[in-house]
């Protein structure tokens, strides 16, 4: 079943790499509900967790799975769930709860195609806006992306680190191609991997305020059962965690939930640049499509076309600065994606009319062929 060759190199599916990344990140709780094309994350952990005392549970549905990981996280466990479109929609209410109550946890969505049941086994990137806006009410959210098994591994670790640091749910988006492609993962020495754990209260229980106002806007939630008695609620609440109807406090809270992410955007955002320095055509691509884009860039360079690639590893908060910087240098931006332009609109917004932004969308379940991108670049040049 697993392929434990000794050594640092392993062949893994993106989904399996997520599971392995979670293990290394210190995740010890998984609750899920099967759904293609994410199920391997669960299956892998159902084998691994019992062996090391981690806790795996298959819940009755995705809503319950999301609730369970929030509950487990409040006991101090790093917690994970994995799903795909339909399940992601169902989890939205409780994802909002995690935002509101500021409970760290990681949600992996391996994106498949179509609205509704759609194309369960075919790739897409159609949930990138949903990842930002899927739950009701204003909130901030961190959404990561991965384009290979290696990145699936690393980004899962980063997702847990960001969740613990900022006390927030973090979403990791894969597309079916990334989730199901088996490839090399180089596993670093554990000592070289940075692991972040949530803050513990410094004060005594009697002085403790779970949602104390701090400069960094990050609350400190003590694990349940450690003597810090407090209340957690999805209602608007004050510093003690109790519901309030005081408009000032409510206003501050909702502001803070958004600000918490925005003010730390520089710490959170990560992009990868390929040949962007002298590029005349900038490509913005993420997930499996960024691999097609990289191929395309290389092909273009061979043809003497100065193309470059900006790959956001964090989709939300959106890397506005980086896009604007690119927009101010290139002559045009191309945004290939497996949807009808969901991120292209963000690129347009961020590039502040500095250059034309061209969409290259594909929604038929096929990946984007590098040659399509090359063709569009040629057309634009």
Partner 1 sequence: MFNYLEYIREKNFPHIWCAGCGDGIVLKAILRAIEKSGISLDETVMVSGIGCSSRTPGYVDMNTLHTTHGRAIPFATGVKHGNPKLNVIVITGDGDATAIGGNHLIHAARRNIDITVLLYNNYIYGMTGGQCSPTTPTGSRAATAPFGNIEPPFNTSGLAIAAGASFVARADVYNVANCEKMIAMALAKKGFSLVEILTPCPTAFGRRNKMASPVKLMEWLRDNAVPAAKWKKMTEEERRGRMETGVLMDVDKPEYTAEYEKLVTSLRTGK
Partner 2 sequence: MMERYEIRLSGSGGQGLILAGKILAEAAAIYEGRNAVQTQSYGPEARGGASKAEVVISDGEIDYPKALELDLLLSLTQESCRKYSGDLKKGGILIIDSGLVKDLPKGEFKVYSLPITEIATEKVGKAVVTNIVALGILTRIAGVISEESVKKAILARVPKGTEELNMKAFDEGFRAGNELLS
Q: Give residues in contact with partner 2 (CB under 8 A).
A: 3, 5, 7, 9-11, 36-37, 120-122, 176-177, 180-184, 245, 288, 291-292, 294-295, 298, 367, 369-371
Which one of 229, 259, 352, 371 is in contact with partner 1 (CB under 8 A)?
A: 229
User: Considering the rule CB under 8 A, would residue 184 count as an interface residue with a copy of itself?
Assistant: no
**Closest approach of Cβ 67 to partner 1, in Å?**
3
**288-302 and 370-380 helices cross at what angle (nearest 10)?**
50
**39-52 and 14-25 helices cross at what angle (nearest 10)?**
40
26/24 Cα distance (integer angstroms): 5
Residues 49-68 that bind partner 1 (CB under 8 A): 50-51, 53, 55-68
Angle at 282 between CA 281 and CA 287, to 5 degrees: 140
List residues binding ligand TPP (CB under 6 A). Answer: 33-35, 62, 86-87, 90, 117
Mapping DSSP onto H, E and C, the string for 304-365 reads CCCEEEEEECEEECCCHHHHHHHHHHCCEEEEEECCCCCCHHHHHHHCCCCCCEEEEECCCC
Between 21 and 169, CB nearer to a copy of itself: 169
User: Considering the rule CB under 8 A, would residue 224 count as an interface residue with partner 1?
Assistant: yes
Q: 114: which DSSP letter?
A: S
**φ, ψ of residue 177 in degrees (nearest 5):** -65, -45
User: Considering the rule CB under 8 A, would residue 60 count as an interface residue with a copy of itself?
Assistant: no
Site string for partner 1, 241-280 (x = CB under 8 A): -xx-------------------------------------
User: Considering the rule CB under 8 A, would residue 142 count as an interface residue with a copy of itself?
Assistant: no
User: What are the angstrom distances between the C-alpha of 151 and each of 55, 115, 179?
Assistant: 25, 26, 11
Site string for partner 1, 99-118 (x = CB under 8 A): -----------------xx-
User: Considering the rule CB under 8 A, would residue 97 count as an interface residue with a copy of itself?
Assistant: yes
């Amino acid at each position: 079943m697993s392929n434990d060759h000794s050594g640092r190199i392993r062949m893994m599916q993106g989904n399996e790499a997520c599971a392995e990344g979670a293990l290394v990140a210190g995740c010890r709780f998984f609750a899920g509900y099967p759904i293609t094309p994410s199920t391997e994350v669960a299956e892998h952990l159902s084998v691994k967790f019992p062996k090391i005392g981690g806790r795996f549970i298959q819940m009755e549905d995705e809503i319950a799975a999301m609730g369970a990981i929030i509950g487990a996280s409040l006991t101090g466990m790093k917690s994970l769930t994995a799903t795909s479109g339909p399940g992601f929609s169902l989890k939205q209410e409780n994802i909002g709860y995690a935002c509101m109550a500021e409970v760290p946890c990681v949600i992996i969505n391996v994106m498949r195609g179509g609205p509704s049941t759609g194309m369960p086994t075919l790739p897409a990137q159609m949930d990138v806006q949903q990842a930002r806006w899927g739950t009701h009410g204003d909130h901030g959210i961190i959404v990561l992306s991965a384009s290979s098994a290696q990145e699936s591994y690393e980004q899962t670790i980063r997702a847990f680190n960001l969740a613990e640091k900022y006390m927030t749910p973090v979403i990791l988006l894969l597309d079916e191609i990334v989730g199901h492609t088996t490839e090399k993962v180089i596993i670093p020495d554990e000592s070289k991997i940075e692991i972040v754990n949530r803050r513990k209260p410094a004060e005594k229980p009697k002085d403790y305020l779970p949602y104390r106002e701090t400069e960094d806007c990050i609350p400190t939630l003590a694990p349940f059962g450690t003597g810090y008695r407090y209340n957690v609620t999805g209602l608007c609440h004050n510093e003690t965690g109790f519901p309030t109807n005081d408009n000032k406090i409510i206003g501050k809270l909702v502001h803070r939930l958004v600000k918490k992410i925005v003010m730390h955007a520089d710490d959170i955002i990560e992009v990868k640049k390929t040949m962007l320095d002298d590029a005349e055509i900038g490509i913005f691509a993420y997930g499996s499509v960024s691999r097609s884009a990289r191929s395309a860039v290389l092909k273009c360079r061979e043809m003497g076309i100065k193309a470059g690639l900006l790959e956001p590893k964090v989709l939300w908060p959106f890397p506005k600065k980086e896009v604007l910087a690119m927009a101010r240098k290139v002559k045009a931006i191309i945004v290939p994606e497996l949807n009808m332009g969901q991120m292209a609109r963000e690129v347009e917004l961020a590039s502040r009319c500095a250059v034309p932004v061209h969409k290259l969308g594909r929604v038929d379940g096929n990946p984007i062929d590098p040659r399509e991108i090359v063709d569009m670049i040629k057309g634009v040049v």
